[in-house]
Amino acid sequence: MGQDSTKPEDNLKLVEETRRTFGRVDILLPIAGVNSTMSIPDMTEEEWNRVMDINLKGVFWGCQAVFNLMREQRYGKIVTIASVAGKIGGITSSVAYSTSKAGVVVLTYSFAKALAPYGCNVNCISPGPIETPFHGKLDEGAREMLRKNIPLGRWGKTDDIVKGILFLCSDAADFITGEVLDINGGMLMD
- Residues identified as active-site: 97
Pick from 49, 72, 59: which is nearest to 122 by CA?
59
Query: Strand 76-81 relative to strand 27-28: parallel, antiparallel, unpaired?
Result: parallel
CA distances from 59 to 64, 81, 107, 119 (A): 9, 9, 8, 20
Pick from 104, 138, 143, 135: which is nearest to 122 by CA?
104
